[in-house]
Chains A and B, each alone.
Chain A
């Protein structure tokens, strides 16, 4: 059976959008013009346009006509939580140390705090089957009330550590991901040779009302942990 004509037209327009002949936010030719150029009835053209709009290729502005929607083909969904993974089971988290430290120049910069403010530093190692696969360092401007009991901190992620201070509804997180060479410290913690590649994920936590509330860095042994992101039409 032949493909219905309205689908053929829709496909043709899709093709033009994909090939960038019709660019994002360009106006589509008017219904009348489309009728003429494809030599079909108004009804058929309407059906094609409906299909395109349903598939998210175009949008209608009342009284103006149809426009090409910008295809967001570069927005991927990344599930990330520094201590939980789909692909690998983090079965043990051990604490290296918890300290209240003087803020360093780097911390003052990242946390945007006054130089005198002290910072809680929590360093942990993530294991899978007795093998260290991640080294996680968190910095939190020190507010009294944050738990300092090591046993309580062990299995918590960033949001949980701060949960009695900050509402998850006003919390925003951002990540940066980059490759790095394991330095002395990281290689020791992950039990790999110095200079081996590691995946470095930096996490910044911002509260809409309180500003920056935490900064963390996690180093992963990429033989065990890779990050997965998905895009779907």
Chain B
């Protein structure tokens, strides 16, 4: 079957773009030039171009022209939070520990350490160690009740002040503390997710370290397509 005019134009462009004739974000010739080159009407050309836009080969900037898209085949979107990471829905979150400690980087700065245990029914599936800054000067011996009141006030809101978050995903064996919280063996493989929270000045202000049991965790990432 004979291909229609616009399909010929479209396929010619596809071939050219796929063969690497164009650079990323390179501007295509003007509509007039293209009409002349392919010897087609503007309507036909526009049909071809609009199909190419739909298929993600090019993008248009109104009043400026058409530009070539080069797909990034290594960029994924990873959806991550505790609920999504767990393969079954979490039924219970418990505050397992809370205390104040001097920062390892600067002893004059006090940090609040919070440990949460996440359960699915009777199984503890994940343990989360949080480090957040203390805005008030509680002494290290501060009463737990006082800390809990403070914690309730700032949690989990404090993390929403992040301008940037960085995840580091790894597989590990738990140390004694982690194994005790998760009630697992020291040679069980665990997924470890470290999260750094950066403020507007690109300084880390809070940190989380989460360990998941192998059987209850799966992270999914998919490709960002046709991103504008």
Instruction: Pick from A71, A73, A199: contact of B170, CB below 8 A.
Output: A199
Per-residue CB contact flags for chain A residues 75-86 toward chain B (1 = under 8 Å, else 0) read 111111100100
Q: Do A176 and B218 touch across chains, with their CB atoms under 8 A apart? A: yes
Q: Do B219 and A176 touch across chains, with their CB atoms under 8 A apart? A: yes
CB neighbours (8 Å) of B75 from chain A are: 77-79
Q: Do B71 and A168 touch across chains, with their CB atoms under 8 A apart? A: yes
CA distance A191 to B164 in the complex (A): 37
Q: Do B171 and A180 touch across chains, with their CB atoms under 8 A apart? A: yes
Q: Would you call A94 an interface residue if the criterion is a C-beta within 8 Å of the partner chain's C-beta atoms?
A: no
Q: Would you call B39 an interface residue if the criterion is a C-beta within 8 Å of the partner chain's C-beta atoms?
A: no
CB neighbours (8 Å) of A177 from chain B are: 169, 191, 218-221
CB neighbours (8 Å) of B33 from chain A are: none
> Closest residue to A195 on the B side, CB-wise?
B187
Q: Would you call A18 an interface residue if the criterion is a C-beta within 8 Å of the partner chain's C-beta atoms?
A: yes
Q: Do B167 and A229 touch across chains, with their CB atoms under 8 A apart? A: yes
CA distance A228 to B196 in the complex (A): 11
CA distance A76 to B80 in the complex (A): 7
Q: Do B167 and A230 touch across chains, with their CB atoms under 8 A apart? A: yes
Among A75, A179, A181, A198, the most chain B Cβ lie within 10 Å of the Cβ of A179
Q: Do B76 and A77 touch across chains, with their CB atoms under 8 A apart? A: yes
Q: Do A178 and B172 touch across chains, with their CB atoms under 8 A apart? A: no
Instruction: Pick from B76, B79, B160: contact of A79, CB below 8 A.
Output: B76
Contact A226 B170, CB 8 Å, known A75-B78, A170-B55, A233-B164: yes
Q: Do B164 and A179 touch across chains, with their CB atoms under 8 A apart? A: no
CB neighbours (8 Å) of B17 from chain A are: 169
CB neighbours (8 Å) of A79 from chain B are: 74-76
Per-residue CB contact flags for chain A residues 49-90 toward chain B (1 = under 8 Å, else 0) read 000000000000000000000010111111111001000000
Q: Do B220 and A176 touch across chains, with their CB atoms under 8 A apart? A: yes
Question: Would you give the shortest CB distance from A62 to chain B, in whole angstroms?
Answer: 20
Q: Would you call B177 an interface residue if the criterion is a C-beta within 8 Å of the partner chain's C-beta atoms?
A: no
Q: Do A227 and B168 touch across chains, with their CB atoms under 8 A apart? A: yes
Instruction: Pick from A74, A80, A159, A180: contact of B76, CB below 8 A.
Output: A80
Q: Would you call A173 an interface residue if the criterion is a C-beta within 8 Å of the partner chain's C-beta atoms?
A: yes
CB neighbours (8 Å) of B170 from chain A are: 199, 222, 226-227
Q: Would you call A151 an interface residue if the criterion is a C-beta within 8 Å of the partner chain's C-beta atoms?
A: no
CB neighbours (8 Å) of B166 from chain A are: 228-231
Q: Would you call B141 an interface residue if the criterion is a C-beta within 8 Å of the partner chain's C-beta atoms?
A: no
CB neighbours (8 Å) of A199 from chain B are: 169-171
CB neighbours (8 Å) of A196 from chain B are: 173
Q: Do B78 and A229 touch across chains, with their CB atoms under 8 A apart? A: yes
Q: Do A18 and B73 touch across chains, with their CB atoms under 8 A apart? A: no
Q: Do A178 and B220 touch across chains, with their CB atoms under 8 A apart? A: no
CB neighbours (8 Å) of B74 from chain A are: 79-81, 84
Q: Do B84 and A74 touch across chains, with their CB atoms under 8 A apart? A: yes
Question: Would you give the shortest CB distance from B84 to chain A, in whole angstroms?
Answer: 7
CA distance A178 to B204 in the complex (A): 26
Q: Would you call B49 an interface residue if the criterion is a C-beta within 8 Å of the partner chain's C-beta atoms?
A: no
Among B81, B187, B189, B217, the most chain A Cβ lie within 10 Å of the Cβ of B189
> Closest residue to A74 on the B side, CB-wise?
B81
Instruction: Pick from B157, B163, B169: contact of A232, CB below 8 A.
Output: B163
Q: Would you call A22 an interface residue if the criterion is a C-beta within 8 Å of the partner chain's C-beta atoms?
A: no
Q: Which residues of B contact A (CB under 8 A)?
A: 14, 17-18, 55-57, 71, 73-81, 84, 157, 160, 162-173, 187-192, 212, 214, 217-225
Between A and B, 20 residue pairs with Cβ closer than 8 Å are A19-B157, A74-B79, A75-B78, A173-B223, A176-B218, A176-B219, A179-B171, A179-B214, A180-B189, A199-B169, A226-B168, A227-B168, A227-B169, A228-B166, A228-B167, A229-B80, A230-B166, A230-B167, A231-B162, A233-B164
- Considering the complex of A and B, which 4 residue pairs feature the smallest CB-CB distances, nearest first? A179-B171, A197-B189, A81-B74, A197-B171
